[in-house]
Chains A and B, each alone.
Chain A
């Protein structure tokens, strides 16, 4: 048994367990922390699969930036709003959802068995693809074949930043003359009553 197979069998149960733990935790902060564990496991799988650049990006972008953003919003909204997991409004919502999930896994498993089989190993020669390092090889593809989509993502990121600013700002409306007069009348000092 080789090292990558041992790594896989150590971290695959951890990633599934942390995903399930994320699902059943009542506190949103605990869910976010379990999701970070899951993202680290996925980063290790990228490393096993020879995608070293994506391994780094996964840790920096997902486990770092995105999860910090999640925790920031959880803190902003308050962590006291605990969800009651027993409260159900739709009949049999949870059993149906779990049955659909199991059906999906079984379907994919049968599809894999029918197509590539369970014991198909990755072909040799990935070192040749990754010649000069994974990041360098990826950059060569990204900046030649995928140059236009790469530029389009910059527009996407700018639009996302502007949209977030517009959505998150408080609604302020122009004050009309009538509102101003009403406001002034409300704060008008009350004349002192004459002393009897």
Chain B
């Protein structure tokens, strides 16, 4: 492999930054959630790159676990968004200013 590991790390930091900008600026709860997924994926790329750098599979196992947790998180998060939409008829986070459904 002739690609330096640092390229992957910089790329994943760029993707993570784009995801955080999305979380900070967008109003639609679904887009915010997609940005969170992008952040999770950027960190997964870091884990896999470090696993390659240290010649060990522990990073890949950790990335695998984080995918499982992301799947569970998506299920619960989307259910929360659906129930918020039902009570407020809007997916905007500005309308969901109360910690109450």
Contacts and interface: CB of A to CB of B under 8 A. Distances in A.
B20 to A, nearest CB: 6
Given A12-B7, A167-B83, A83 B2 contact: no
Contacts, number: 241
A192 interface: no
B99 interface: no
Report whether over half of chain B's contact residues are helix, strand or loop; otherwise say mixed. Answer: helix
A146 B59 CA distance: 12
Interface in B31-66: 31, 33-35, 37-38, 41, 44-45, 48-49, 51-53, 55-58, 60-61, 63-65
The 10 closest A-B CB pairs, nearest first, are: A160-B72, A101-B17, A97-B24, A108-B13, A167-B79, A2-B2, A164-B79, A101-B21, A19-B18, A49-B52
17 contacts: A42-B44, A70-B78, A74-B30, A77-B85, A83-B27, A97-B25, A101-B20, A108-B10, A109-B10, A120-B53, A121-B3, A122-B53, A123-B55, A134-B60, A141-B61, A149-B65, A167-B83
Interface of B: 1-11, 13-22, 24-28, 30-31, 33-35, 37-38, 41, 44-45, 48-49, 51-53, 55-58, 60-61, 63-65, 67-76, 78-83, 85-86, 90-92, 94
